[in-house]
Amino acid sequence: MAKILSEATKIKLGERLGVDEIVRREGWGGVPARECGNLVREAIRLAEEELQNQK
């Protein structure tokens, strides 16, 4: 996710999934692997929503 999403988008996703506190304390490296998978799923869902809104 590091170079694909902007930092602002990653923060937004982290807030939605409740890992923003971990990111503030430890950085993105502190986020558990399971939550990283959830972040990717949420990013895909967000991208799909944005594509639908463009149509």
Delimit the domains of the chain by residue range: 7-54
DSSP-derived letter for residue 42 is H
Task: Report CA torsion sign: 5, 9, 13, 19.
Answer: positive
Contact of 41 with 16, CB cutoff 8 Å:
no
Contact of 23 with 14, CB cutoff 8 Å:
yes
Query: Using CA atoms, how far apart are residues 4 and 18, in angstroms rounded to an integer?
Result: 21
Helix axis angle, 7-17 to 33-54, nearest 10°: 110
pLDDT tens digits for the chain (55 residues)?
446 788 888 888 999 999 999 999 999 999 999 999 999 999 999 889 989 998 7
